[in-house]
């Protein structure tokens, strides 16, 4: 999916919501545990209940890997299900990969060739040649970690160099020399509040993937206030607050209600921005 | 495996070699492609041919993931095979993971609970709470990226802060406050040469996992000269130079010959150090 198509979906659905599929076998409703593939059964219901309210799904690889092969089967089935039934959804493999060139090539092969996914999150620590192998696929996106939503983001990402440039700013600046804004997004945590202004100084036009709204406590209003641009430029993710809104047989209905609340707020924010 | 056991293995085998299982379906000998699981068949032969010459195996997750579920099956079989037949081998899941706390917990569950692996490589960009969930498992190791072997290591890892501390040094210093040297190692690329001296100033006693000897051009002698400590403190990895030494039916014999050359050189370096 390219940038224009993504923006069209946002305008049509009045939403820039990404639903995070952090599906944990220990947290899904009990009645699903008897299913042949409980993880996929859960995802399928969540997806069917929310697909008209969001523009993206973000399966978090860790949750699938924690079950080994069984988890990977559920992950692949989930991706295939979204692609076939809801081809207008932007799929993000939240994998935070990154390695030397020949190894990143293999990760790119996994996500873009084997699974035909739109985008993958990538850690920047290893620099240019760890990111570039992901950039040879047309209309596929690399989403580089810039300023994450967690407390540990303060450990290294805010370190200032001799010229006063912070590491996340250097990542934003340097990585823009590796790809256009039609192939690259950045991860910026919703919990970072006013720092979004600093992000937009360095990367005014890029799409940002914003986790941290919901269970992590970030404010959607602040994110929109400081981060939204003329093409929206935001994919705001919510995982736990939506998918675990209820743990009974009613779970997908409750997930829909939560997603609907977010979508309504997003509709207003888009309108305020004139989108 | 704890540090003392690892050191005992190094002394007994006169080797600090780690064989990297970067098994690529496009590079293995053709005659194996007819096997039910060519990747596992290849690994099995490589392992049997080299197990007495090395102290560790490092499957590189990217290579397995590139085949999706099929690759994960081969990965799990490989780990199981090593654990059962060669329980004195230290196993490193080269995964370079790292995410917010609740997600890193899932990665830890995958590698330490589900697969019962000794150690996993972790990217430090997201800071303390992305690494800590890996540290709750006794006798399991976290191997933090410090100064990697690739060209892109210069993009961010060498950035000096206002006090002249480089990012890799800050990573070494800060991460030591999260765990003891009995639970943490660092990745330092063999291609970094004299920078090993700077590493040892900040982390004199830690084990270092050193990729980049062989195909990437790093020098084993330099690594030992600048990086070896009284407990050896080094696991030097070679992947391609060993496992793809030959691409005919003779491949495992050729791999053994390459591993033997490295082991002999390591024996001398250990002797020189009085180990």
Using one digit for the tens of pLDDT, what is the confidence trace for B3-45?
999 999 999 999 999 999 999 999 999 999 999 999 999 999 9
Q: With 80 as the cut, is the pLDDT of residue A214 above it? A: no
The predicted pLDDT at position A160 comes to: 97
Average per-residue pLDDT for chain B: 96
Q: Are strands A208-210 and A234-238 parallel, antiparallel or unpaired?
A: parallel
Residue A162: domain span = 3-272
CB count in 10 Å sphere of residue A177: 7
**Confidence category of residue A90, pLDDT binned at 50, 70, 90:** very high
The predicted pLDDT at position B194 comes to: 84
- Encode pLDDT of A229-260 as tens digits: 999 999 999 999 999 999 999 999 999 999 99
pTM for the full predicted model: 0.95
- Encode pLDDT of B172-188 as tens digits: 999 999 999 999 999 99
The predicted pLDDT at position B217 comes to: 84
Of B126, B148, B160, Cβ closest to residue A150: B126
Residues on chain B touching A124 (C-beta within 8 angstroms):
125, 155-156
8 Å CB contact of A149 and B109: no
**Confidence category of residue A33, pLDDT binned at 50, 70, 90:** very high
Residue B14 · residue B267 · CB < 8 Å: yes
**Confidence category of residue B202, pLDDT binned at 50, 70, 90:** very high
Distance CA B231, CA A223 (A): 51
Give CA separation, A241 vs A125, A189, A211, A262, in Å.
Answer: 30, 16, 12, 10
> 3-state class of B16 per DSSP?
coil
User: How large is the average pLDDT for residues B222-234?
Assistant: 96
Catalytic residue status for B96: yes
Q: With 80 as the cut, is the pLDDT of residue B215 above it? A: no
Domains: count for chain B: 1
* ipTM of the complex model: 0.94
Query: CB of A66 within 8 Å of any CB in chain B?
Result: yes
- Encode pLDDT of A137-165 as tens digits: 999 999 999 999 999 999 999 999 999 99
Distance from CA of A25 to the nearest CA of B (A): 11
User: How large is the average pLDDT for residues A198-219?
Assistant: 92
Distance CA A252, CA A42 (A): 8
8 Å CB contact of B96 and A149: no
**Confidence category of residue B214, pLDDT binned at 50, 70, 90:** confident
CATH code of the domain containing A17 = 3.20.20.70
Q: With 90 as the cut, is the pLDDT of residue A16 above it? A: yes
User: How large is the average pLDDT for residues B211-225?
Assistant: 89
């Amino acid at each position: 999916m390219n940038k224009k198509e993504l923006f069209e979906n946002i305008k049509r659905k009045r939403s820039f919501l990404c639903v995070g599929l952090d599906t944990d076998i220990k947290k899904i409703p009990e009645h699903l545990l008897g299913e042949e593939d409980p993880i996929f059964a859960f995802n399928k219901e969540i997806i069917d209940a929310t697909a008209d309210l969001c523009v993206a799904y973000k399966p978090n690889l860790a949750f699938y890997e924690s079950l080994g092969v069984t988890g990977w089967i559920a992950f692949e089935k989930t991706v295939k299900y979204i692609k076939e039934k809801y081809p207008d959804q932007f799929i993000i493999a939240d994998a935070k990969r990154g390695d030397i060139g020949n190894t990143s090539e293999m990760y790119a092969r996994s996500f873009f060739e084997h699974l035909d996914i739109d985008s993958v999150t990538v850690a920047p620590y290893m620099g240019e040649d760890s990111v570039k192998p992901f950039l040879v696929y047309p209309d596929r996106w690399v989403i580089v970690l810039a300023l994450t939503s967690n407390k540990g983001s303060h450990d290294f990402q805010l370190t200032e160099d001799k010229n006063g440039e912070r590491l996340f700013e250097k990542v934003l600046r340097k990585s823009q020399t590796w790809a256009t804004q039609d192939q690259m997004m950045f991860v910026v945590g919703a919990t970072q509040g006013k720092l979004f202004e600093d992000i937009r100084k360095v990367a005014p036009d890029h799409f940002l993937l914003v986790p941290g709204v919901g269970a992590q406590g970030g404010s959607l209003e602040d994110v929109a206030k400081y981060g939204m641009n003329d093409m929206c430029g935001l994919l705001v993710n919510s995982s736990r607050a939506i998918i675990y809104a209820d743990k009974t047989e009613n779970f997908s209905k409750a997930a829909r209600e939560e997603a609907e609340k977010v979508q309504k707020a997003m509709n207003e924010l888009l309108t305020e921005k004139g989108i």
